[in-house]
Structures are given as C-alpha cells and as structure tokens.
Amino acid sequence: MQLEVGQNPTEFEHEPFERTLEKCLRYYEIIKPLGISNGVFGFGGYYSSSLVFLDLVYKQKRSTSPAFEQTTITNGYLIETNSASDYWNSFTGMLRQTDTRSQIYTQSDVGGTAGMAGVCWTNSTNTFLAVEDEL
C-alpha cells in the first residue's frame, strides 16, 4: 500500500521485500519476541555485585535515543554465569546509546560477582524486548 497527500497520485513504487524490511527495522526492532521461552538475547556481565549490563547491537542504524520496550515478568530474565543463574523481573533502563548499539541494565533483584559474565536469556514465553525509534 502506498499513501500520498494530494489529488495527483504517482505511479506505485515496487521495491524488494528486503528493502522494505530494512526500512521497518530502522523504526522498530524486536530483540526478543513473545512466545519463546529460553530465548537467548545477548551476552552480559556484572559491573558490580548488584548491576548487570547487556550489550544490544542493532540490525539497522537508528537515532541515538530509541525507546526501550519490555514486559515485566517475575523472574522473567536471567544471566547464567559459571553454572549459576540469577533472575530478575525487568530491566532498569538503557544507556551508552549510539546509532548501532546500546546497553540495557538491571540493578534490582540481582546479586553476583563483579566481573563475571554470561549468557542472558528469558525464562518465560511472556517476555518481550524491543527498541522503537522516532519516525
């Protein structure tokens, strides 16, 4: 579908699916969709005993201040380090944003050893993570 302003329409523009998808990902990117449990979505680490950082790398360049969307689920997210798992309910926020990456972090419900790193994944099919940019 192609929408235009005015009374003089132009010829419909056909473009490859890949190009259309690329344009869409510029504005909205799902990091972890609903319906998947045990979904690995990144690699993170303890900055301190009560602060976990996780790097996000975007598929498409975006502004340096996209909005972060998430669901809050009891013990919905976890980091697994050295055969131990640490669970939390939601991320606290997003920082160190560039047009290709950012960091999300949590500083509630976690307790580990500073410097330890591991795989971050979800513990519920109801968890959801996405970034949204301005149009």
Q: pLDDT tens digit string along 83-134?
A: 789 999 999 999 988 888 999 999 988 999 999 999 999 989 999 999 998 7
pLDDT band at 135 (very low <50, low <70, confident <90, very high): low
Distances 82 to 39, 43, 106, 119 between C-alpha atoms, Å: 19, 13, 19, 10
Q: Which residue has the tokens 């259309």?
A: 20
Q: The pTM is what?
A: 0.79
What is 17-132's CATH number, 3.10.590, 2.60.260, 2.60.40, 3.40.50?
2.60.40
Q: What pLDDT does residue 2 have?
A: 66
Domain ranges (residues) in the chain: 17-132
Q: How far is CA 133 from CA 20, 28, 56, in A?
A: 16, 6, 15
Q: What is the token pair recorded at 107?
A: 């500083």
Share of the chain above pLDDT 70, in %: 98
CA distance 32 to 62: 18
